Amino acid sequence: MEETFVPFRGIKNDLQGRFMCYKQDWIGGLNAGFRILAPTTYIFFASAIPVISFGEQLERDTDGVLTAVQTLASTALCGLIHSVLGGQPLLILGVAEPTVIMYTFMFNFAKSRPDLGPSLFLAWSAWVCLWTAVFLFLLAILGACSIINRFTRIAGELFGLLIAMLFMQEAIRGLINEFNVPERANPASAEFQPSWRFGNGMFALVLSFGLLLTALRSRKARSWRYGSGWLRSFIADYGVPLMVLLWTAVSYIPASSVPKGIPRRLSSPNPWSPGAYENWTVIKDMLDVPIMYIIGAFIPATMIAVLYYFDHSVASQLAQQKEFNLRKPPSFHYDLLLLGFMVILCGLIGIPPSNGVIPQSPMHTKSLATLKHQILRNQLVATARSCITKKSSMGQLYESIKEAYQQMQTPLVHQESSRGLKELKESTIRLTSSMESMNAAIDESVFDVEKEIDDILPIEVKEQRVSNLLQSLMVGGCMAAMPFLKTIPTSVLCGYFAFMAIENLPGNQFWERILLIFTAPSKRYKVLEESHTTYIETVPFTRIAAFTIFQTVYLIVSFGITWIPIAGVLFPLMIMLLVPVRQYILPKFFKTAHLQDLDAAEYEEVPATPFNQATEGDLGKTASFPDDGEILDGLITRSRGEIRCVCSPKTRSSTPPTGELANFQRSSSLPDRVYSPRIRELRGYHSPQGVDGKGPFSPAEARESNLSNGG
């Protein structure tokens, strides 16, 4: 993206780009049919459960002024607005932990001032929101988001791991609380006696670990050996909500022999309870706030604005990583502008504002990638099967598949995708040559259609607005379902927090490098045997370790800052600080080529380009339940960022990519990524240990191959 700060240019570009595909966003989503419910439910749960927990936390910290009803309302309302009017529909909005920390700080401040007090807290917050919105407008209009690509992988992944640590901390804290008497509870009641508290805590351990382990297992259901295909698909798609249901049911098993209140369950007022409405009319109190506080509100507002600017943009960036091969343009500037309006709205009706959330936003994209993969795959398999029943030759089969595949693609990527299909041809030739001639009829027992097609399919994301809209509506529906939600044990929520933290570790290169450091030297060759990121072959191990240790120390410092009572809200500044650190300090310690590889995928942004609307979305109707999506599961969680940038850093900075070229860059990485290791091998891809790649990993070889790659 160009770093020009001409007012309104970024917003204009965003609007133009997204306007081109707005209609397709809806049509594509609707065409996917019922299948869209899988990613929708997945994201709904990932979105609603933390929001409910944060609501509970807020209720505790604000003496009941704000509750889960308000956090749910904010998430639903902002999500609804964003899914309809927003730029990037892959971005998921919600009330996040930093907002909760911020509001707690503001409440404590208001409570301590006699001329504000808890009664004027919401009115004062409204002023803070107004100020925040002003800053956000300024940032959006002046194009501040155009420097978002200076937040390289190092910043995004560090922030991702920090969020994971906060989630894990919340899980552990929650479990410890299960052994203690909660605040504001009556310690005389039966369930808080030492004996029952011990039982409650132990039961909480069982429930939370039960949920964590089963949920992690269920996500891998597609690669299970047992059970029929549709069952495995169903469990993989809906496993997490199913497990919440299951463990909630388990929590009722000892109900007859324990006092009410064991295990502890979610507590929140129903939206129709008296007092749950007070916040909506806050606007009439706003002028009661003393003028000094109205002006002073700009101080917390700057912090919130910085936080939202970073959080919203990075969440959006992580949802649009290069490896997802997105086709539609991004919309950073316009989304920030819209966020400003939503912050005002939330402020005026007295609910905490929402912003783009991690890890839900990248989870959303991943789940849509699986969906798109399944749709594409079903179509190609059907084509191939019909060829086989017609007793076509291998050559004919190849032609038909190629045709079918190209029909579903945008014209822009034709030359790329057909490269993927050449692989299919090669592998089929290899198969047939061992038995028969190329023109003989194919037998499905010999040619495993599904496997071959899985091997060549690229990662593609079903980009649309329907899943985001539906999940927002479902979050809104949660408010009505509050009595039902209140049956969920808090310990199950703890397990869910831990699940969220762990689920998002694979694919994070920072995390994978930490693991690499702990990998025994004799086992490092195993990393090479799998699909792996480029830096493993091009950067010496000691440099990888040094870089990772630096990043880890930085992470621990950032995490430590969140523990400081009030200054803790400044922790986003640590992430901001990474931009100059990356640009000016790190190059003094690491070679440019190494940094290039360790901090790859600069999230090339694409200016608006003509978007062909007669593309995808034509397949939704033919889609049925898939047999198997595990290959993709592996690809999207394991092999992120495997692509070496096609363009050198120089060309990238000197010639800002425009139009077709930019789009080509975004999609050019496609064929390199999608080959299975087997095919890579056959193509003679560079591997320092020959075909098997089984040699022990040694820095010497890495350097050698580094040279040969010219890095």
Establish if 448 lies at the interface with its own copies (CB under 8 A): yes
Establish if 700 lies at the interface with its own copies (CB under 8 A): yes
Taking the C-alpha atoms of residue 141 and residue 162, their distance in angstroms, rounded to an integer, is: 29
Closest CA to 528 of 669, 671, 685: 685
Establish if 186 lies at the interface with its own copies (CB under 8 A): no
Report which DSSP code applies to 489: B
Which CB, 660 or 704, lies closer to its own copies? 704
Taking the C-alpha atoms of residue 225 and residue 40, their distance in angstroms, rounded to an integer, is: 26
Single out the residue of 112, 228, 389, 654 in contact with its own copies (rule: CB under 8 A). Answer: 228
Stretch that binds its own copies, among 198-206, 299-307, 320-328, 597-605 (CB under 8 A): 198-206
Q: State whether the Cα torsion 476-479-484-486 is positive or negative.
A: positive
Single out the residue of 45, 203, 310, 497 in contact with its own copies (rule: CB under 8 A). Answer: 203
CB-based contacts of 246: which residues, under 8 Å, 6+ apart?
214
User: Given the structure tokens 């599961």, which residue do they identify?
Assistant: 633
* Local structure of 126: helix, strand or coil: helix
Establish if 519 lies at the interface with its own copies (CB under 8 A): yes
Establish if 685 lies at the interface with its own copies (CB under 8 A): no
Quote the least distance from Cβ 448 to its own copies, whole Å: 6
User: Given the structure tokens 């429930």, which residue do they identify?
Assistant: 207
Single out the residue of 195, 565, 650, 654 in contact with its own copies (rule: CB under 8 A). Answer: 195
Stretch that binds its own copies, among 223-231, 287-295, 320-328, 411-419 (CB under 8 A): 223-231
Single out the residue of 269, 395, 506, 695 in contact with its own copies (rule: CB under 8 A). Answer: 695
Which CB, 226 or 584, lies closer to its own copies? 226
- Binding string, 605-634, against its own copies, x = CB under 8 A? ----------------------xx------
Single out the residue of 6, 84, 295, 446 in contact with its own copies (rule: CB under 8 A). Answer: 446
Q: State whether the Cα torsion 118-119-124-125 is positive or negative.
A: positive
Residue 112, judged by CB atoms within 10 A of its CB (0-12, 13-18, 19+), counts as exposed
Establish if 189 lies at the interface with its own copies (CB under 8 A): no
**β partners of residue 265:** 489
Taking the C-alpha atoms of residue 286 and residue 348, their distance in angstroms, rounded to an integer, is: 9
| 322-332 per-residue burial string, b: 16 or more CB within 10 A, e: under 16 | bbbbbbbbbbb
- Please spell the DSSP secondary structure of 395-454, one letter per residue: HHHHHHHHHHHHHTS-GGGHHHHHHHHHHHHHHHHHHHHTTS-TTSBP-TTTS-HHHHHH
- How far are the Cα atoms of 160, 191, 456, 503 from residue 507, in angstroms, in the given order? 11, 43, 21, 10
Stretch that binds its own copies, among 235-243, 305-313, 350-358, 687-695 (CB under 8 A): 687-695
* Local structure of 93: helix, strand or coil: strand
> Is residue 695 left, alpha or beta, with left meaning phi > 0 and alpha meaning psi from -120 to 50?
beta
Establish if 690 lies at the interface with its own copies (CB under 8 A): yes
Distance of CA 184 to the CA centre of its chain: 36
* Local structure of 328: helix, strand or coil: coil
CB 440 within 8 A of CB 432: yes
Which CB, 34 or 518, lies closer to its own copies? 518
Q: How many CB atoms lie within 10 A of CB 517?
A: 12
Establish if 518 lies at the interface with its own copies (CB under 8 A): yes
- Binding string, 420-439, against its own copies, x = CB under 8 A? -----------x--xx----
Establish if 206 lies at the interface with its own copies (CB under 8 A): yes
Residue 583, judged by CB atoms within 10 A of its CB (0-12, 13-18, 19+), counts as exposed
Which CB, 491 or 669, lies closer to its own copies? 491
Run of H or E including 355: strand 355-356
Single out the residue of 4, 694, 707, 708 in contact with its own copies (rule: CB under 8 A). Answer: 694
Quote the least distance from Cβ 2 to its own copies, whole Å: 43
- Binding string, 94-133, against its own copies, x = CB under 8 A? ----------------------------------------
Of residues 535-594, those binding its own copies (CB under 8 A): none
Establish if 205 lies at the interface with its own copies (CB under 8 A): yes
Taking the C-alpha atoms of residue 547 and residue 551, their distance in angstroms, rounded to an integer, is: 6
Establish if 217 lies at the interface with its own copies (CB under 8 A): no
Single out the residue of 184, 445, 686, 710 in contact with its own copies (rule: CB under 8 A). Answer: 445
Taking the C-alpha atoms of residue 162 and residue 550, their distance in angstroms, rounded to an integer, is: 15
Establish if 193 lies at the interface with its own copies (CB under 8 A): yes
Stretch that binds its own copies, among 39-47, 79-87, 251-259, 488-496 (CB under 8 A): 251-259
Quote the least distance from Cβ 497 to its own copies, whole Å: 19
Stretch that binds its own copies, among 56-64, 245-253, 485-493, 689-697 (CB under 8 A): 689-697
Single out the residue of 188, 520, 588, 650 in contact with its own copies (rule: CB under 8 A). Answer: 520
Residue 149, judged by CB atoms within 10 A of its CB (0-12, 13-18, 19+), counts as middle
Of residues 343-402, those binding its own copies (CB under 8 A): none
Quote the least distance from Cβ 145 to its own copies, whole Å: 40
Q: What are phi and psi of 682, to 5 degrees?
A: -65, -30
CB 469 within 8 A of CB 80: yes
Quote the least distance from Cβ 646 to its own copies, whole Å: 29
Q: What is the CA radius of gyration of the chain?
A: 26
- Binding string, 256-295, against its own copies, x = CB under 8 A? -xx---x---------------------------------
Stretch that binds its own copies, among 99-107, 290-298, 519-527, 547-555 (CB under 8 A): 519-527
Which CB, 250 or 570, lies closer to its own copies? 250
Quote the least distance from Cβ 225 to its own copies, whole Å: 5
Quote the least distance from Cβ 393 to its own copies, whole Å: 19
Helices within 86-193 (DSSP H only): 97-112, 117-141, 153-177
Stretch that binds its own copies, among 85-93, 486-494, 572-580, 698-706 (CB under 8 A): 698-706
Single out the residue of 6, 84, 147, 202 in contact with its own copies (rule: CB under 8 A). Answer: 202
HSE, CB side, 13 Å, CA atoms: give it for residue 710. 2
Establish if 323 lies at the interface with its own copies (CB under 8 A): no
CB 79 within 8 A of CB 96: no
Which CB, 193 or 418, lies closer to its own copies? 193
Establish if 523 lies at the interface with its own copies (CB under 8 A): yes
Taking the C-alpha atoms of residue 193 and residue 515, their distance in angstroms, rounded to an integer, is: 43
Dig out the tokens for 661 from the structure. Answer: 């070229």
Number of residues that bind its own copies (CB under 8 A): 49
User: Given the structure tokens 């869910």, which residue do they identify?
Assistant: 496
HSE, CB side, 13 Å, CA atoms: give it for residue 420. 28
Taking the C-alpha atoms of residue 697 and residue 407, their distance in angstroms, rounded to an integer, is: 43
Quote the least distance from Cβ 190 to its own copies, whole Å: 8
Single out the residue of 515, 549, 564, 567 in contact with its own copies (rule: CB under 8 A). Answer: 515
Which CB, 445 or 654, lies closer to its own copies? 445
Residues near its own copies (CB under 8 A) are 193-196, 198-199, 202-203, 205-206, 209, 224-229, 232, 254, 257-258, 262, 431, 434-435, 445-446, 448, 450-451, 515, 518-520, 522-523, 525-526, 627-628, 689-691, 694-696, 698, 700-701
